Amino acid sequence: MMQPREVEIRPPVDEPALLVGLVCGGVMRSVVEDHLDELERLVDTAGGRVVGRLIQERPAPEPATLIGSGFVAKVAAEAAAEQVRSVVFDEDLTASQVRNLEQSMPDDVKVLDRAAVILDIFAARARSREARTQVELAQLNYLLPRLTRRWRHLSRQAGGIGTRGVGETQLEIDRRLVSRRIAQLKDKLATIERDRRLRRERRRDMPTVALVGYTNAGKSSLFRALSRTPVLVEDRLFATLDPRARRVALGEDVTVVMTDTVGFIRKLPHDLVAPFRSTLEEAVDADLILHVVDAAHSSWEEHLRIGDQVLDGLGVESERAFVVLNKLDLLAGQPPPPPDNRPGLAVSAATGTGLDELRTAIRRQLLVAPGVVMLRVPLEDASMVKLAVSLPHQLARRYRAESVDLALRVDGWRLADAGLDAYRIADWDDVSHGGR
């Protein structure tokens, strides 16, 4: 069976690129500059090299080209002067806008939008079967309305023997192949997601902590520091795409499964919203969410707000989130406090500053969560000890000289029915006070 050909949207290494931004709708120019700074980092991660940027101010986007014919000519002249290979727009472009813009650009100059660059990065960095399947599906959904660009050279032919209708025929074949492949990938993803849910269920007997946050906030660095696991850490956007889970000992007999997730970003491409959120489902079921923020970034409050919006869209309750202001080592003064009196801490994953306090805070957050109860069962009552240590959803267990202590999530069953209600204690004495 014929397969749809791959469409390469990844610039070669060190490909010169020109960035284009648009100021409209009351947005301040400084905001657009900040967005272009992020777009430049995306282009760098994708293998490009930004040689210039242009910003247009207009009341509203122009439907045909986004920026208007006069500014299109300016962009084309700049692209020719700088000998760029790609012109990258910070806004999403429609298929017709891309076609109109490319017709005005010098030969061999591609017109890309932020979505194309992000999709390219995801395609290059996805490693797991699930991530690669999700990215291929997103790429094909992005490609489908833009297939006319693939056969533009045939549509320009005036005719002749063997050429009549070839462009349109091949276009229809490609559309059918792409649509068929999209359906196959959706079926494959449904199976993968079902398997992932089963794996998550098998981990439910151990407390789970998910690291979330804006891309390049230092989640992987914090994950490596807490789990003492060698993982990839790069000062680039989307260094981590595939969720990683490790057992992490937090001290005081508390062990959790910690998961590192994909980073948030502004203007996430529409075709990546579903796979992006699917990857973040690890956070939905987590007992505690560490919302990691780059406190040294000038837009850290906006990054926190974007993350809050994503978590809210996933149905994550705000009381399960704990703000971690990372990169304390890069701050000249005092770290900013978490807004709205939210629980949080300032740390440096790079130097280790504040990590002991963070471990203590994670323990406290887990052990005072709603539905968590503490038991102290005397060792002399052997039958009850055997019953207690076999209970599901144990957050922590500690053996003392005369008893065994357990912290449990009570969901779906009652201690009274098990005959253990009499062994309740007020709290996890030593842990909740930070030490023995």
What digits encode the pLDDT tens for the residues 248-262? 888 877 888 898 887
pTM across the whole model: 0.76
Q: What gap in Å lies between CA 131 and CA 125, rounded to an integer? A: 9
The pLDDT of residue 73 is 96
The pLDDT of residue 148 is 55
Which residue type is seen at 212?
A: V
Q: What gap in Å lies between CA 17 and CA 109, rounded to an integer? A: 9
Return the biggest CA–CA distance within the chain.
96
Domain 205-367 falls under CATH 3.40.50.300? yes
Q: How many CB atoms lie within 10 A of CB 321?
A: 23
The pLDDT of residue 237 is 61
Residue burial 147-168, b: 16+ Cβ < 10 Å; e: rest: bbeebeeeeeeeeeeeeeeebe
Q: Could you write out the DSSP letters of every residue in 369-403?
A: STTEEEEEEETT-HHHHHHHHT-SSEEEEEE-SSE
The pLDDT of residue 355 is 94
Which residue type is seen at 161?
A: I
Question: Which of the residues in the chain have pLDDT under 50?
Answer: 1-12, 149-166, 430-436
Strands (E) across 300-426 are located at 321-326, 344-346, 372-378, 394-399, 403-409, 424-425
The answer to whether the beta carbons of residues 92 and 115 sit under 8 Å apart is yes
The pLDDT of residue 160 is 43
Phi-psi region for residue 106, left (φ > 0), alpha (ψ -120 to 50) or beta?
A: beta
**Do β-strands 110-113 and 244-249 pair in parallel, antiparallel, or remain unpaired?**
unpaired
Place of tokens 């990169």: 327
Q: How many CB atoms lie within 10 A of CB 14?
A: 11
Sign of the alpha-carbon dihedral angle for 26, 30, 33, 39: negative
The answer to whether the beta carbons of residues 17 and 48 sit under 8 Å apart is yes
Structure tokens at 57: 């101010």
Tell me the CB-side half-sphere exposure of residue 424, using CA atoms within 13 A. 12
The pLDDT of residue 277 is 66
CATH (residue range 15-124): 3.40.50.11060
- Look up residue 415 and give its DSSP letter: H
